[in-house]
C-alpha cells in the first residue's frame, strides 16, 4: 500500500524530472485561478464603489426636477415639505457663469442653494463655513475651483467676480467673498450637481441677480430608506394634482412637468449595473478556468502516454490499479496546489493594480482566497481523474512492451 508521503515523494520526483511538462500543466491552473481571483475581486470592488457612490450622495434623498422653467416656487417647496415622511428640503437652481480671479476667467457651474443643502447633500468642508440663509454675496467653492482651475489658488476670505447673463441679454457682474471650500469630493451619484467644479451661492441671491423667483429642483430628505418609495409616491400624487395631471396619466412620465428620483431607486439601478458587471467578470473567469482545466487534462493524458513503460514497471513491482491511480491524482493535485498558490498571488496583484488604476475601493474578501485555492485543487483533481484512471487500467505486460518514441521527461 502506497502512503501519502511516498506518493508525494514520487510526485515531486516526477515533477522535477519533467520541468517543462510540469510548467505547462501548472500554467493552465495559474491563469484560471488568477482570472477567478482578479475578476471576482473587481466585481466586489465595483459593488463597493457603487454603494459608496450612492451613500456619499446624502441620506435618504428624494430629488424633484422641473422639466420646464418657472415651474417650481415656494408653494411647491411647501407642498413637498409638508408631505408625510419628509424631514428636510432645499431648493436649488443651476446656472453657468464666468468667474474671474485676478486676471484669469473661467466658465463654471453655479448652484443656488440654501443652508439646508449642507446636511441634505452630505457636504463636507475643507476650510471655512457653509452658507446661511442670511448670506448674500458670499460663496462656497469646489475643491478644483479653489486649487486647480485658476492660475492662483483661491482661499477663504478671497473675492471672486462672477458674471451672469440674463434672459434679456445683459451681463451682470457681482463680487463674491469665498466663505468656504468644499473638501475634495468622493464620487457621488446625487443629481444636484454639487462637486469639485462648481461654486455655491445663496439661491435668493441668484434669483435676485437674474430677476427671477423660481427654483430648478428640490432636494428633500426622507425619514427612512425603508419608506422612501412610499414618500416618493405621495409627493408624486400631490404634485400631479397640483399641476393638474389627470389620474389616468399618473404612470406616464411624459405627461408630468417634473421628474422624481430617490436613493432607493438609484441603489437598485446601481445594483443592477454592478450585478451585470459581476456576472460578466465571473463568466470570463470561469471560461478561463475551464480552458485551464482542459489544458491540464490534455497534458496529463500526454504524460500517461509518455510514462507507459514506467507504469508497467510500477505494476510489475506490485503496485495495484488503485496505487497507480492514487499516484497520478496526487501528482495532479500537487501541480494544482502549486498553480493555485501562484494564481492566487497573481490574481490578487492583478486585481490590486486594476483597482488602483481605476481608483476603485480596495476589496479582497478573505473567503475569496480560500475559494480560489480550493477551486485550483478541485479543478486539478477533476482534470487528473480521467488520465489517472487510464494509467491505472493499463495492462502490465502491454505497458512493459511499450517502446518510447520520445524521451520520457520533457
pLDDT digits 0-9 by tens, 157-204: 999 999 998 888 889 999 999 999 999 875 554 556 677 889 999 999
Question: What pLDDT, on a 0 to 100 scale, did the predictor assign at position 330?
Answer: 77
Cβ atoms of residues 229 and 61 within 8 Å: no
Contact 278, 293 (CB under 8 A): no
What is the distance between the alpha carbons of residues 165 and 169, in angstroms, rounded to a whole number? 6
Alpha helix locations (H) across 57-163?
A: 74-81, 117-120, 143-147
Number of H helices, E strands in the chain: 12, 10
pLDDT digits 0-9 by tens, 37-67: 887 788 778 777 776 766 665 578 899 999 9
Q: In this structure, how many other beta carbons lie within 10 angstroms of the beta carbon of residue 115?
A: 14
Q: Is the pLDDT of residue 2 over 70?
A: no
SS3 148: coil
Residue among 22, 45, 42 nearest 342 (CA): 22
User: In a 10 Å sphere around its CB, with 0-12 CB exposed, 13-18 middle and 19+ buried, how is residue 366 labelled?
Assistant: exposed
Could you identify the residue written with the cell 484512471?
A: 389
Residue 306 has pLDDT above 70, yes or no: no
Distance of CA 265 to the CA centre of its chain: 17
C-alpha cell at 124: 463636507
- E-strand ranges in 67-222 read 86-101, 104-113, 125-128, 138-141, 159-165, 171-182, 198-202, 217-222
3-state secondary structure 273-292: HHHHHHHHHHHHHHHHHHHH
What pTM value is reported for the model?
Answer: 0.65
**pLDDT, position 405:** 44
Burial class (CB in 10 A: 0-12, 13-18, 19+), 70: exposed
Contact 266, 50 (CB under 8 A): no
Nine-digit cell at 192? 444636484
* pLDDT above 50 (res 410): no
pLDDT at 14 over 70: no
- Phi, psi at residue 111, to the nearest 5°? -115, 125
Write the pLDDT tens digit of every residue in 199-245. 999 999 999 999 999 999 999 999 888 889 999 999 999 999 999 99
d(CA 123, CA 139): 14
CA distances for 190 relative to 50, 51, 79, 125, 187, angstroms: 12, 12, 22, 17, 9
Q: Is the pLDDT assigned to residue 7 strictly greater than 70?
A: no
Amino acid at each position: 500500500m502506497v502512503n501519502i508521503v511516498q506518493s508525494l515523494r514520487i510526485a515531486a520526483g516526477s515533477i522535477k524530472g519533467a520541468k517543462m511538462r510540469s510548467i505547462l500543466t501548472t500554467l493552465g491552473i495559474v491563469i484560471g485561478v488568477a482570472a477567478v481571483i482578479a475578476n471576482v475581486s473587481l466585481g466586489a470592488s465595483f459593488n463597493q464603489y457603487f454603494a459608496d457612490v450612492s451613500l456619499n450622495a446624502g441620506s435618504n434623498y428624494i430629488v424633484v426636477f422641473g422639466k420646464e422653467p418657472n415651474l417650481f416656487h415656494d408653494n411647491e417647496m411647501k407642498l413637498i415639505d409638508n408631505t408625510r415622511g419628509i424631514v428636510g428640503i432645499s431648493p436649488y437652481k443651476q446656472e453657468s457663469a464666468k468667474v474671474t480671479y485676478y486676471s484669469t476667467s473661467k466658465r463654471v457651474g453655479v448652484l443656488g442653494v440654501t443652508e439646508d443643502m449642507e446636511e441634505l447633500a452630505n457636504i463636507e468642508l475643507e476650510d471655512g463655513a457653509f452658507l446661511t440663509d442670511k448670506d448674500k454675496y458670499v460663496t462656497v467653492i469646489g475643491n478644483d475651483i479653489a486649487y486647480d482651475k485658476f492660475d492662483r489658488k483661491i482661499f477663504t476670505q478671497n473675492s471672486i467676480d462672477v458674471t451672469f447673463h440674463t434672459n434679456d441679454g445683459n451681463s451682470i457682474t457681482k463680487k463674491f467673498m469665498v466663505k468656504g471650500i468644499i473638501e475634495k469630493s468622493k464620487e457621488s451619484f446625487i443629481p444636484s450637481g454639487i462637486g469639485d467644479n462648481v461654486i455655491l451661492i445663496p439661491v435668493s441671491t441668484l434669483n435676485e441677480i437674474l430677476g427671477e423667483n423660481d427654483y430648478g429642483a428640490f432636494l428633500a430628505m426622507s425619514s427612512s430608506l425603508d419608506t422612501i418609495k412610499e414618500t416618493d409616491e405621495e409627493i408624486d400624487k400631490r404634485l400631479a394634482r397640483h399641476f393638474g395631471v389627470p389620474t389616468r396619466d399618473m404612470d406616464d412620465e411624459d405627461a408630468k412637468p417634473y421628474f422624481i428620483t430617490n436613493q432607493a431607486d438609484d441603489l437598485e439601478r446601481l445594483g443592477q449595473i454592478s450585478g451585470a458587471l459581476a456576472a460578466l467578470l465571473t463568466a470570463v473567469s470561469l471560461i478561463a478556468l475551464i480552458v485551464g482545466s482542459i489544458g491540464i487534462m490534455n497534458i496529463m493524458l500526454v504524460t500517461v502516454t509518455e510514462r507507459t513503460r514506467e507504469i508497467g514497471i510500477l505494476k510489475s513491482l506490485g503496485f495495484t490499479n488503485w496505487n497507480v491511480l492514487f499516484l497520478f491524482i496526487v501528482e495532479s493535485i500537487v501541480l494544482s496546489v502549486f498553480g493555485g498558490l501562484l494564481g492566487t498571488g497573481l490574481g490578487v496583484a492583478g486585481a490590486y493594480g486594476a483597482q488602483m488604476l481605476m481608483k476603485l475601493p480596495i476589496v479582497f474578501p478573505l473567503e475569496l482566497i480560500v475559494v480560489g485555492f480550493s477551486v485550483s485543487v478541485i479543478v486539478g483533481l477533476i482534470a487528473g481523474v480521467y488520465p489517472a484512471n487510464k494509467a491505472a487500467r493499463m495492462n502490465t505486460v502491454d505497458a512493459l512492451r511499450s517502446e518510447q518514441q520520445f524521451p520520457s521527461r520533457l
